[in-house]
C-alpha cells in the first residue's frame, strides 16, 4: 500500500531535530526513522503537500502492503530526498487495496475474461462463418489474423488497464488526452449492447423455464403441431417443406418461437412494435437481477459469480457433444464443418471475415478488458493471461462448432435437406429454432432442452455483466461520489437499462434486435478501436508502452509484439475501411420484410452518437488550451499528470514515479 505518513506534533519536532543534526545518517539507516500512522488519523488534505523548504520536509513516503511497516524496506523521501532504486520499483509494483478493489484470486480474473470473450457468438457465429468460408481452410486465415491482430490488441488492453488502473474514460488522460472521447463512445456502445443482448438472454430464460416446467412430461411444447399458437402451415413431418398447393410449411419449433415466445403476429413491423409481452418482461427482470448482484460489489461479487457462469458452459458443451456424436448423421455434419476448401482462400472476403471474426470474438475495444484488468495486482503477469485466454477462446469456438454441426448433421438427415439449408436466415434461428427442434426429437427432450438453454444463459450473462462493468468502472473512476455509492449507481443503471430494453422484448422485438446490432455496434466499435490503436501505438508510443510493461513484469516485450503494435492501427483501419465499403444506406431487409426508409436516418444517428464523441471531445479539448494551434496540439497529446493529492497518489502512484525511470534499471544509482 502506498501511503503518505503525516506525523504528530511531538514526532514532527523530533524528526526536525534529527534532520538538522544529521540528514546523512538518517539516509544511511532509514529503518530507524519509520513512523506509521494510526488508522484513526484522517487522510491529509492537498494543502499539506504544498512545497516546503528543505529544512521543513520531515514527511516520508513509505511503501507497504499493510498498515504495519517493514523496517527493512527502503524508503523514498519527499521533496529534496531522492528515492532509492529499490523504492522506485517497490512503489511501482504495489497498489492500494483501500482505494481500488482487487480480484480475490488470479483465477477469478481469468474466469471473468474467459466468460466475457466466450459468449453466444461462439455458438452461432463462428460455426456459420467457418463453413461459409471454406470449412477447415478458414482456420488458416483465422489463426493468422489471431497472431497479427487479435492477440496483440488483446494483450495491449490488458496491459493498459492493469498499468494505469483506470476504466475506459479516465485512462485516456494518462495515455493521450486528445482521444478522451473514446471512453464516452465506448459507453454508448455498451448501452446499445445491453439493450438487445439482455433481451436475447431473456428469451433463453423463457425457454429454460418452460423446459423445467415440463421436465416430467414426455416432450417439449414445440415437439408437435396442434397447439393454440400453431397455424395451418405447421407440419409435423420434417421431411415436407412445401404443401401440395405450393405454400411453404413451417416446423413446430419455428412456430413456437415466433408465435408463442415472441408473438410476432401482434406487430406489423419496425414502425409498429406493439406492446411489451409481460412474461418476457419478467424474464428480462430476472436477467437484470442476476446482473445487479454480479456487479453491486465490483470484483468481490462478480469474482464469485464467474466460477459458475464461466465453467458451466464447458461442462454442458461436453455433455451435448457426446450426445450429438451418438446421433445418426453426426458424421456428415462434422465432415461438412471441417472439410477444407482451399480455393476460397483466394477470396479477399474470406480474409476479411477471418479478421472481423477474431476481432469480435476476443472483444477488444469494448472497454471490458480495461475494466477487468484494472482490478489486478500491478505486477500480475498479464502476458501469460492474454495468451492463455486467447487460446481458450479460439479453442472454445472450434469446440462449440463441433457441438452444433454434429446436431445439424442429425437435422439434415431428419429433414432430408442439405446442411446449408437447415440453418435459417438469421443467427438466432440456430439456437432458438433449429437446435430446439433437434432436441425435441430426442428421448428426455425436456432435460436436454433445459441444460442447453442454461448453457446459453451462462454464456450470455457473464458477457453482459462484463459489458455493463465497463460502463460502471468508467464513470466510477471519474467520480468519487459514484465510487463510494457504487451499489446505488449499479442499481440505477440496471433500472435504466431494463426500461430501455423494452423495445427489444416487445412483440416487434425481432426487428429491434438486428437493428441495434447493425447500427449500434459493428461499424462504431471498429472506428473506436482504430482511434484507440492510433492513440496508444503512435501517440503514446510503443517505446513508452514497452517501458510500462517492463515496470510491471520486469521484462520488455519481444520484437514480435512491438512490430504488431506498430502495425495494429493499419490492420484495424483496413478492417474498418472494408466494413464501410460493404455498408449500405438502404434499409435493412429481413426475409419478406423491409425496414422503413426513416430507419436508416435513425440508425446513422445512433451510430454517430458513439463515433462523433471522439472528434467532439478532441475539439473541446483543443479549444480549452492556450497558445498556438501547434502548442495546443502538443499539449493535447501529452499524458496528463494529476496533482499530487493524497487521493491521486494512493490511487495511482505512477503519477509521481514514471516508468521511464526504470529504463534501463541497472543504470540507476542508489542515493
Instruction: Enumerate the known binding-site residues for Na(+).
Output: 115, 117-118, 122, 361, 393, 459, 462-463
Q: Where are the alpha helices (DSSP H) in 133-277?
A: 139-145, 151-164, 171-175, 181-213, 252-255
Encode 506-533: b = buried (16+ Cβ within 10 Å), e = exposed.
Answer: bbbbbbbbbbbbbbbbebbbbbbbbbbb
User: Which residues sit in the known binding site?
Assistant: 115, 117-118, 122, 361, 393, 459, 462-463
For residue 662, the 8-state DSSP code is: G
Cα(13)–Cα(139) distance, rounded to whole angstroms? 71
- Is residue 513 within 8 A of residue 525, CB to CB? The reply is no
Q: How is residue 275 annotated by DSSP?
A: -
667/663 Cα distance (integer angstroms):
8
DSSP string, 444-456: THHHHHHHHHHHH
- Find residue 76's DSSP bridge partners: 61
Q: What does the block give as the cell for 603?
A: 440508425
Task: Give the C-alpha separation, 665 to 659, whole Å.
Answer: 10
* Pick from 446, 444, 448: nearest CA to 211: 446
Please tell me the distance from the alpha carbon of residue 4 to that of residue 614, in angstroms, as a whole number: 37
Residues 6+ apart with CB under 8 A from 485: none
Q: Which of 492, 473, 482 lies closest to 170 in space, CA to CA?
A: 473
Q: Which residue's entry shows cell 474466469? A: 111
**Which residues does 187 contact at the CB level (< 8 Å), separation at least 6?**
168, 169, 367, 470, 471, 474, 475
CB 302 within 8 Å of CB 295: yes
Per DSSP, the residues of 259-270 read IIII-GGG--BT
- Please give the Cα distance from 609 to 462 (Å, whole number): 26
Place of cell 542515493: 671
In angstroms, rounded to a whole number, what is the distance separating the alpha carbons of residues 565 and 560?
9
Distance CA 298, CA 236 (A): 49
Please give the sequence-ordered ranges of beta strands (E in DSSP) within 535-579, or none if there are none. none
Please spell the DSSP secondary structure of 418-465, one letter per residue: -HHHHS-SSTHHIIIIIHHHHHHTSTTHHHHHHHHHHHHHHHHHHHHH
Residue tagged 477471418 (cell numbers) = 354
The DSSP call for residue 223 is G
Residue carrying the nine cell digits 460502463? 471
The C-alpha cell 479478421 sits at: 355
**106-117 vs 299-309: helix crossing angle, rounded to 10:** 60
Alpha carbon separation from 202 to 76, 115, 276, 502 (Å, rounded): 55, 18, 13, 11
Residue 37 C-alpha cell reads as 500512522
**3-state SS assignment for residue 671:** coil
* Torsions phi, psi for 76 (to 5 deg): -120, 120
Closest of 176, 122, 328 to residue 638, by C-alpha: 176
Amino acid at each position: 500500500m502506498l501511503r503518505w505518513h503525516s506525523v504528530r506534533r511531538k514526532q514532527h519536532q523530533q524528526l526536525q531535530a534529527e534532520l538538522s543534526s544529521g540528514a546523512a545518517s538518517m539516509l544511511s539507516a532509514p529503518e530507524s526513522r519509520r513512523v506509521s500512522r494510526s488508522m484513526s488519523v484522517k487522510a491529509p488534505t492537498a494543502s499539506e503537500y504544498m512545497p516546503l523548504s528543505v529544512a521543513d520536509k520531515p514527511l516520508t513516503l513509505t511503501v507497504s502492503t499493510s498498515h504495519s511497516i517493514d523496517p527493512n524496506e527502503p524508503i523514498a523521501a519527499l521533496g529534496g530526498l531522492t528515492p532509492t532504486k529499490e523504492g522506485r520499483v517497490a512503489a511501482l509494483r504495489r497498489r492500494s487495496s483501500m482505494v481500488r478493489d482487487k480480484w480475490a484470486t488470479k483465477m477469478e480474473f481469468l474466469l471473468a475474461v474467459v466468460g466475457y470473450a466466450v459468449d453466444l457468438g461462439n455458438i452461432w457465429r463462428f460455426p456459420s462463418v467457418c463453413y461459409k468460408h471454406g470449412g477447415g481452410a478458414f482456420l488458416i486465415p483465422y489463426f493468422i489474423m489471431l497472431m497479427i491482430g487479435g492477440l496483440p490488441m488483446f494483450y495491449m488492453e490488458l496491459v493498459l488497464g492493469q498499468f494505469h488502473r483506470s476504466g475506459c474514460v479516465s485512462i485516456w488522460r494518462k495515455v493521450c488526452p486528445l482521444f478522451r472521447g473514446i471512453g464516452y463512445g465506448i459507453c454508448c456502445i455498451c448501452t446499445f449492447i445491453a439493450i438487445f443482448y439482455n433481451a436475447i438472454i431473456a428469451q433463453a430464460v423463457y425457454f429454460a423455464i418452460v423446459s423445467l416446467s415440463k421436465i416430467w412430461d414426455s416432450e417439449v411444447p414445440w415437439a408437435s403441431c396442434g397447439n393454440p399458437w400453431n397455424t395451418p402451415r405447421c407440419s409435423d413431418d420434417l421431411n415436407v417443406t412445401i404443401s401440395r398447393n405450393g405454400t411453404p410449411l413451417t416446423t413446430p419449433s419455428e412456430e413456437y418461437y415466433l408465435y408463442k415466445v415472441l408473438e410476432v403476429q401482434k406487430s406489423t413491423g419496425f414502425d409498429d412494435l406493439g406492446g411489451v409481452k409481460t412474461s418476457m418482461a419478467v424474464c428480462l427482470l430476472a436477467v437484470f437481477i442476476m446482473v445487479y448482484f454480479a456487479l453491486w460489489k465490483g470484483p468481490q461479487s462478480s469474482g464469485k459469480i464467474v466460477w459458475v457462469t464461466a465453467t458451466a458452459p464447458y461442462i454442458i458443451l461436453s455433455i451435448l457433444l457426446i450426445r450429438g456424436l451418438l446421433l445418426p448423421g453426426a458424421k456428415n455434419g462434422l465432415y461438412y464443418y471441417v472439410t477444407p476448401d482451399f480455393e476460397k482462400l483466394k477470396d479477399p472476403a474470406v480474409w476479411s471475415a477471418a479478421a472481423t471474426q477474431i476481432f469480435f470474438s476476443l472483444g477488444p475495444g469494448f472497454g471490458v478488458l480495461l475494466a477487468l484488468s484494472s482490478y489486478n495486482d500491478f505486477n500480475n503477469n498479464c502476458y501469460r493471461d492474454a495468451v492463455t485466454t486467447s487460446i481458450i477462446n479460439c479453442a472454445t469456438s472450434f469446440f462449440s462448432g463441433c457441438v452444433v454441426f454434429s446436431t445439424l448433421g442429425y437435422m439434415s438427415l431428419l429433414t432430408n435437406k442439405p446442411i446449408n439449408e437447415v440453418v435459417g436466415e438469421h443467427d438466432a434461428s440456430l439456437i432458438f429454432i433449429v437446435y430446439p427442434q433437434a432436441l425435441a426429437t430426442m428421448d428426455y427432450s425436456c432435460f436436454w432442452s433445459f441444460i442447453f438453454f442454461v448453457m446459453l444463459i451462462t454464456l450470455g450473462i457473464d458477457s453482459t455483466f462484463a459489458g455493463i462493468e465497463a460502463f460502471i468502472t468508467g464513470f466510477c473512476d471519474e467520480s468519487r461520489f459514484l465510487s463510494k455509492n457504487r451499489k446505488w449507481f449499479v442499481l440505477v443503471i440496471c433500472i435504466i437499462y431494463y426500461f430501455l430494453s423494452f423495445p427489444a422484448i416487445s412483440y416487434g422485438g425481432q426487428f429491434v434486435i438486428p437493428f441495434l446490432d447493425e447500427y449500434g455496434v459493428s461499424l462504431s466499435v471498429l472506428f473506436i478501436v482504430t482511434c484507440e490503436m492510433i492513440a496508444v501505438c503512435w501517440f503514446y508510443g510503443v517505446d513508452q508502452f514497452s517501458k510500462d510493461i517492463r515496470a510491471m513484469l520486469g521484462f520488455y516485450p519481444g520484437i514480435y509484439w512491438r512490430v504488431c503494435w506498430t502495425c495494429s492501427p493499419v490492420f484495424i483501419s483496413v478492417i474498418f475501411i472494408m466494413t464501410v465499403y460493404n455498408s449500405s444506406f438502404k434499409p435493412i431487409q429481413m426475409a419478406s420484410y423491409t425496414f422503413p426508409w426513416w430507419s436508416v436516418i435513425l440508425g446513422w444517428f445512433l451510430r454517430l452518437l458513439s463515433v462523433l464523441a471522439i472528434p467532439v471531445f478532441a475539439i473541446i479539448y483543443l479549444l480549452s488550451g492556450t497558445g498556438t494551434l501547434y502548442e495546443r496540439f502538443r499539449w493535447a497529446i501529452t499524458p496528463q499528470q494529476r496533482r499530487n493529492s493524497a487521493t491521486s497518489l494512493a490511487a495511482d502512484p505512477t503519477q509521481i514515479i514514471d516508468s521511464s525511470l526504470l529504463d534501463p534499471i541497472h543504470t540507476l544509482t542508489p542515493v
